[in-house]
Homo-oligomer: A and B are copies of this chain.
Amino acid sequence: MAKQFTLAQIADFLGETWQGEDLTITGLNTLEEAAGSDLSFLANPKYIKQIATTKAGAIIVSPNHAGEVKNAIISANPYFAFARCMGLFAEKEGFFQGISDQAFIDPSASIGENCTIYPFAVIGANAKIGDGCTIFPGVYIGEFCELGENCTLTPNCVLMSHTHLGDNCYLQPGVVLGGEGFGFVRTDFGIQKIPQIGHVHIADNVEIGANTTIDRAALAKTSVGKRTCIDNLVQIGHNVQIGEETLVISQVGIAGSTKVGNKCTLAGQVGLSGHLTIHDNVTIGPQAGVTKDIPENSVVSGSPTMDYSTYMRHCILQPKIPDLFKRVSALEKQIEKLEQELDSKK
């Protein structure tokens, strides 16, 4: 059953005051979509008119709006308070506990305390699973993999051999870590495969999105730093190194041996060539194509990338380029005419 709390219980959890009727809250929603047993919030003043029409049973508001609402929690930061409520209502994914005898666990693997291993999960030889991990169905953990504590591998994730996860990592469904890097070189005697003998190393508190792929290194390791969050369908090539607290949005592709610093943000569908260095605190706009190193604190966009203000002017001017061609043609005719005129006066 879904969770429910009284308005007073929620205010108590938030450490905030409340007013009105202490009704039972069964869910959270926007002002526009809330039902009568939902709690909502008003953070952006542009939605203030919705207070009159919302069906929400109660609203989190800032003190200056408390007079306009009957049932309310009063908070200096309604958005942040609401986000904390989302954590309160969030349910842990899954329905199974313990270690299924329909999982396949190699006898040489070691499993920590309080782990959950679902049916049809596979844990390979000499793998080590830390305490409190949850391994969903269809997950494959290859030989010599090591998982820290409290990792969650949702259905059908694959960790090929020797992959290392830190503590508290969360993998959405279908993630593939440690597939072979694309080590093919064209030679006079055909395509040669360079065997990929490195590994993937994921630090603590990393989240990885659905169907994202991170390749094992040719040598040494492909690595992702602490608290970095990677979205769905991202491709990370062999020997890439990503720093800490970086956000990588969906469908980004990072070619081999590129380094991305700490606290960077790579927007959706960005492509990075190989062997680049993206320094700390860089923001790269959507669909950008990066072919050069980027210094720290930069904001870039475009393909190939430009600094952000140049890119914005480029975007405004791009549809005017056909007109620019016409203007140049007109100038050429005017010049020709002027030249003729001057010539005729000589």
- Interface residues, chain A, with chain B CB atoms under 8 Å away: 28-30, 33, 83, 86-87, 89-91, 93-96, 100, 102, 104, 106, 118-120, 122, 124-126, 136-138, 140, 142-143, 154-156, 158, 160-161, 172-174, 176, 179-180, 182, 184, 186, 190-197, 207, 209-211, 213, 215, 218-220, 227, 229, 231-233, 235, 237, 245, 247, 249-251, 253, 255, 263, 265, 268-269, 271, 273, 286-287, 289, 291, 302-304, 306, 310, 313-315, 317-322, 324-325, 327-328, 331-332, 334-335, 338-339, 341-342
Contact = CB atoms under 8 A, between A and B. Distances in A.
Contacts of A328: 324, 327-328, 331
B219 A184 contact: no
16 contacts: A28-B197, A83-B192, A83-B195, A90-B197, A138-B158, A172-B180, A174-B174, A179-B210, A182-B231, A191-B245, A211-B233, A251-B251, A269-B289, A273-B286, A302-B318, A331-B335
B320 A325 contact: yes
Given A154-B179, A213-B250, 9 more contacts: A91-B197, A104-B137, A154-B160, A176-B232, A215-B232, A269-B271, A327-B328, A331-B335, A342-B342
Most B CB atoms within 10 A — which of A179, A192, A315?
A: A179
Nearest to A265: B186
